[in-house]
């Protein structure tokens, strides 16, 4: 799911512990069956390489 290491698994729950590492790809939103995750617009931009790597997900 999150390749940026935003989440940590604690017990049976996924807890966002590094929210500043989020690149806004929204892959976590797509896999969350409970629709518990919202990704708001981020001010930072992705690098050209990151954009190319994630182009099929965005
Ligand atoms: S939007 Fe992407 S980078 Fe941010 S928490 Fe979700 S999966 Fe991780």
Domain extents for the chain? 7-53
In this predicted structure, what is the pLDDT of residue 58? 66
Ligand 1 site, residue 4, Cβ cutoff 6 A: yes
In this predicted structure, what is the pLDDT of residue 44? 65
Tens place of pLDDT for every residue, the chain, 58 residues? 799 999 999 998 889 999 989 988 999 999 999 898 998 877 666 778 888 888 887 6
Ligand 1 site, residue 26, Cβ cutoff 6 A: yes
Residues in contact with 16: Cβ distance below 8 Å, sequence separation at least 6, in sequence order: 6, 7
**Phi, psi of 14, rounded to the nearest 5 degrees:** -100, 120
How would DSSP label each residue in 1-55? Answer: --TT--EEEETTEEEE--GGG-----HHHHH-TT-----PPPSS---HHHHHHTT
In this predicted structure, what is the pLDDT of residue 51? 82
Ligand 1 centroid, distance to 23 Cα (angstroms): 6
Closest C-alpha residue for ligand 1 atom 2: 25
In this predicted structure, what is the pLDDT of residue 22? 92
């Amino acid at each position: 799911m999150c390749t940026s290491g935003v989440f940590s698994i604690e017990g049976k729950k996924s807890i966002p512990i590094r929210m500043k590492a989020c690149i806004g790809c929204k892959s976590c939103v797509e896999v969350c069956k409970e629709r518990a995750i919202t990704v708001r617009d981020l001010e930072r931009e992705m690098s050209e390489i990151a954009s190319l790597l994630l182009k099929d997900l965005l």
